[in-house]
Structure 1
């Protein structure tokens, strides 16, 4: 029996979410505390008061200050990291810098985020390289996962391994440190997609040792959207080719990547305010609350769908604030069907969840954040079964 955690006092008031909607999908786009919204708005006001001064002398120093703050929080080398809009942009940046050829391949797991897999396949088509997928079934131990990925590597052919640290569709936690070490034994570079890690899980990027590691701060790190950190190992920094060539190009990585003319830099500059809000509330308190609450939510929704505890996937590690509930067979087994069901749930139940098609089956993904309450999951559990029954007809 999993009991829900006590609510974090006053936490719901820190956000401006619509109170008529159960927002159980923090993992997709995050939700910004009001204090961070205001910090970003002050920066926007400053920018509009004198755009020339804002974009002129001092902007790169301010970006560097934010980058150092965020990188230190993640255990990454600030001088070997760059601020980027999101994980998807970082993946394209790395793929462009790899200089793939017809005899090369990029290896993914079947947990890879859809847009990441799309970017890999697109780049492979451009270069004549091939994209290959290794299946990693749910429920494998860490050792079994490492063994399966290791067996799929092909030295001399595999030019890049792209692996999730915490998979979006399945909420599975991968033993990335061990996977990176296994690939390193065969001199195969690794890109770790850690989109959901910053803020949710404690992480030390330097210990993972990946050639490339990228995580979004605008999900669980409470930063404005459009804030992610890409860390690059020393051997690759001079080989990074920015997607946009602008005035800082001759400075090399990371400045050449970060400066892109007159884009909006206020998300990056306001990002430390997100970490400040998180730490003020209590980082460990937030993490413990979110894991306990999403575990409760998975249980009650799973029980409502007549699933036994053994049928509910566990992420494979502590602290994960997302869980999935397998849907009845024949529901949301394709991407369009999953999107349609998610929208139907939003419209009919006033509940925002994620629905993904994975391995031929639909998975409903729940998230938990400090603004959520146990009764939101209880209500979803009560109303979801009849909705799914009607949706199938």
Structure 2
């Protein structure tokens, strides 16, 4: 089976970004890339802030934040009254975990596809409360029905206080059936937190239809917002129980203002985030998604072929719409966190290519992304040089 053809480029899209042209940026899923127009919009807001800080912070800023929030919530089909802006997905997860009121004997259940910092957050709060963190193993290519069965069987009603699942996982690019998982957990009275860090912008989504108790996603990855922009969506029964990590002047205003107002933060990323959505819509959201998914699939096949991975052995856990793909590395390569990080840095330094490398389930995995600023030649260049670099280990 030959590689799928690369998509036609979107004219002018590369010029929207200020990325270093000497580097192949194949890891958009890590920190995103902010379009120049969005950078300028945020800088104008910073100029306004620095021209009169007292006026900026004390006259109407909470209303401006609420306006931005409503705009972002509409994009995600989320209830704006149940949506709070937060700095990133990890921060949103920490808010939820620490608002649960865990006690000895309680447990938080997650999967082995979870993000490392989220796992650390769960572990810390469980340690503080005398609760337990339990991780369920989900095969990379398990059918959706099997995933739901595994997670349903792994819950213990009365003891499991929260199930944490990724909508699209970071280390494995696995797309989990979160709506079905949420429904199954609800049957057992277990609330669900969906880590949707990679969803806004990459996939069309209706947070209302997912119907999770908590849903948190970044807009600074695939929705072109400035970094530090994420939303935490909380179901009605939980809103008054969801507390900020730091108490500030809007504490008595209730949810969501008490989460959003954190004194002298730089709120310009949130205020400029709607410009990122305008950029996405101007390019054509569906067009961008289709382009990015097709380019990631092309890159996966090209790199996989160079490493001797049969096309049938290339996993497709995210489905055809995913703009992130993984390639299994040779046996013994990058099988630990430290080795994966070292390999990522070697690829960056020697091949001038930014990728993600993760150690998962006893194996090293290379993750590549597709974005409108990428070209097929960048994946082909990685494929041409990566085998020799790996042979030098």
TM-score where L is the length of structure 2:
0.99
Alignment of 1:14-25 (within 5 A): 14-25=16-27
Q: 1:378 aligns with which of 377, 380, 384?
A: 380
Which of these residues, 256, 265, 270, is aligned with residue 268 of structure 1?
270
1:28-50 deviations in Å (ceiling 9; x for gaps): 00000000000000000000000
Please give the per-residue CA displacement for 1:58-115, whole angstroms capped at 9, x wherever unaligned.
Answer: 0000000000000000010001010000000011100111000111000010000000
Q: Give the structure 2 partner of residue 99 of structure 1.
A: 101
Q: Deviations over 1:283-304 (max 9, x none)?
A: 1110000000000000000000
Cα distance in 1 between the residues matched to 2:44 and 2:93: 31
Contact conserved, 1:141 with 1:316, CA < 8 A, in 2? no
Structure 1 stretches lacking a partner, 5+ long: none
Corresponding residue to 1:201 among 203, 223, 232: 203
| Aligned counterparts of 1:103 and 1:48: Cα–Cα separation in 2 | 50
C-alpha deviation, 1:319, in angstroms: 1.4
Name 1:318's counterpart in structure 2. 320
Which residue of structure 2 lines up, in the alignment, with residue 231 of structure 1? 233
The one of 152, 155, 158 equivalent to 1:153 is 155
| Aligned-partner Cα distance in 2 for 1:270–1:155 | 43
Instruction: State the Cα RMSD in Å.
Output: 0.6
Contact between 2:99 and 2:242, CA under 8 Å: does it hold in 1?
Answer: yes
Alignment map for 1:84-233 (pairs within 5 Å): 84-233=86-235
Give me the whole-angstrom Cα distance separating, in 2, the residues matched to 1:209 and 1:292: 29
Distance 2:317 2:59 in 1: 46
Secondary structure, aligned partner of 1:317: coil
Separation (CA, whole Å) in 2 of partners of 1:318 and 1:37: 31
Partner of 1:67: 69
CA drift at 1:318:
3.3
Structure 1 position 306 matched with structure 2 position 308: yes
Structure 1 counterpart of 2:80:
78
- CA distance in 1 between counterparts of 2:317 and 2:267 reads 34
CA distance in 2 between partners of 1:138 and 1:249 (Å): 42
Q: CA deviation at 1:317?
A: 2.6
The answer as to whether partners of 1:327 and 1:361 remain within 8 angstroms in 2 is: yes
Deviation at 1:309, TM superposition (A): 1.4
C-alpha distance in structure 2 between counterparts of 1:145 and 1:316, whole Å? 13
Partner of 1:241 in structure 2?
243
Following TM superposition, the consecutive aligned residue runs of length 4 or more in structure 1 with deviations greater than 3 angstroms are: none
SS at match of 1:155: coil
CA distance in 1, matches of 2:293, 2:12: 19
* Contact 2:168–2:318 under 8 Å retained in 1: no
* Number of matched pairs: 391
Is 1:26 aligned to residue 28 of structure 2? yes
Contact 2:340 2:357 in 1 (8 A): yes
1:345 alignment partner in structure 2: 347
Tell me, which stretches of 5 or more residues in structure 2 are unaligned?
A: none
Quote the offset at 1:245 in angstroms. Answer: 0.4
- 2: CA distance, partners of 1:16 / 1:279: 20
TM-score normalized by the length of structure 1: 0.99
What is the Cα deviation at residue 316 of structure 1? Answer: 4.1
Alignment of 1:266-305 (within 5 A): 266-305=268-307
